[in-house]
Each structure stands twice: as structure tokens, then as C-alpha cells.
Amino acid sequence: MRKARFYIFLFASVVFFAAVNTFAANSYLIKAVDGENISYKIISEHPETALSKNNLKVELSGPTDAKTLKQIAVQLRSSRTQFNKLWILFYIKGISLNQGAWAYSHFKPEGFYLEIRVAKGSNIDKLKNIRIVRNYDKEIGRWVDNTLSVEPMIIIYNANGKVYAQTNYIDGSVDIDELSKTQFNGKTRYNKAGDACGEYFILETNGSLSLYNKDGRFGEARSLFPIPKKRESAK
């Protein structure tokens, strides 16, 4: 009987320590300023070595203060210093990712600048109101890329007989790329002109925008709303 109890205890101990190790491998603990333990885990990571940037989505066990968020961001940065840029989006456990990031931070080459801003509600409403920064003739559509941590919005439009993609990021930065338009298996393909990574978009039949580079498909952006009519040029 004593021997049986010993084996039961041994089995329970193995299960317990296995569970602890599994938690430790996927989650991290940090003590907040108020003394409360906050756990967090990485729910997605999308490194882009060719562009020297990395995108993280992190789930927090609950809301916390800005100083604690900064500690977490610095911890994550310490093992990813090979990237010039590191984007981190923070989400709260139990709240749908579709509601947007609760907070976000980013490190940039100029001194690895860190900025943390707690998001108020969804970013979708802000994205709907973003304007094209150049004069244009027709907006083809706009899409939100939920597969990347930075949740950029992509706007494709025509201007002076050419096609362009404007990419807006949460921190306010904007990229503009000239595109060449071709047909691929009955779908429209937009190639980024002169892009070193060979990035291009394919407009799917369901309205979403598939994202590709020379290594293949790496993401999908959903249509923000039906393709609008021509809008007034940005002033």
C-alpha cells in the first residue's frame, strides 16, 4: 500500500512539474509596479530578416500600467536585438483580437526609441478615416492586415495612369510603393516595383488581399469595406 502511494505521489509530481515547465515555456511572469504578478505570452511572431524587422503579438493576463508594459517590451527586445525594428502589440486575455490592440510599442534604429500608447477602442474606425497622402484619381480598395503585429492598412489606388499602394502603420508612418498590375490564374496581381524581397499582392475572389514575397504567401489582409467610389483628392 505504501509502495502504491509512493508511485501515485511520483506520478502526480511528474505531471505537476511537466505542467509548470509547459507554462514556463509559453508564458512569462513579471511583477507590476503595484506588486501584482502579470503573466504574458507571445501569441504570434513574424520576423522579416530581409527588412530587419520583427512583429510580435503578446497576450497579457490583464491590464497593467505603462511602466510594466515598458519592462515587458524591454525584456522582449533583449533577445531580438538583431532586428533594427521591433513592433509589439499587446492584447488582454479574454478580449477578442478583432477589437484591436490594447496597447503597443515599437523600437526603431534611432536609439531604439520606445513608445507605448494605450489604444482607446478599436483601430478600425481610425483606419476608415485615413486619407491618401497624394493626389489620386481612383481608390481601388483598402485592407487591414491582421496577420502582422503592426496591423497595417493597405490602400491601393490609381494616380496619373499608374497604380500605387499606400501602407499606413499604427505609429503614423506611411510607405508608398508603385505597383505593376498583371493577371494571375484569373485574379489580379499587384507587384511592388523594385522590391528587394519580391513582395506582391493577389486580389482574391472573396475581396481579401493575399500577401506574397519571393518565399511564398505570408499573410492575408481583409477588405475594410466595399470598394468605394472616387473620393476627393487629399489636400
**Would you say residue 16 has pLDDT above 80?**
no
Q: Please report the pLDDT score of residue 50 as a whole number.
A: 85
Q: Quote the cell numbers at residue 199.
A: 513582395
Q: pLDDT > 70: what percent of the chain?
A: 71
Q: Please report the pLDDT score of residue 113 as a whole number.
A: 61
pLDDT tens digits, one per residue of 26-61: 688 887 766 778 899 999 999 988 888 899 999 998
pLDDT tens digits, one per residue of 180-231: 999 999 999 999 998 777 899 999 998 999 999 888 888 888 887 554 444 4
Average pLDDT over residues 70-81: 90
Q: Alpha helices, DSSP H only, in the chain?
A: 2-26, 66-78, 124-128
Q: pLDDT > 90: what percent of the chain?
A: 28
Domains annotated for the chain, with CATH where assigned, are 27-118 (no CATH), 124-223 (2.40.128)
- pTM for the model stands at 0.52
Residues 6+ apart with CB under 8 A from 76: 42, 56, 58, 86, 88
**Would you say residue 9 has pLDDT above 70?**
no
Winning range, highest mean pLDDT, from 65-74, 101-110, 165-174: 65-74
- Separation CA 231–CA 139 (nearest Å): 7
Sole residue written with cell 477588405: 223
Residues 6+ apart with CB under 8 A from 24: none
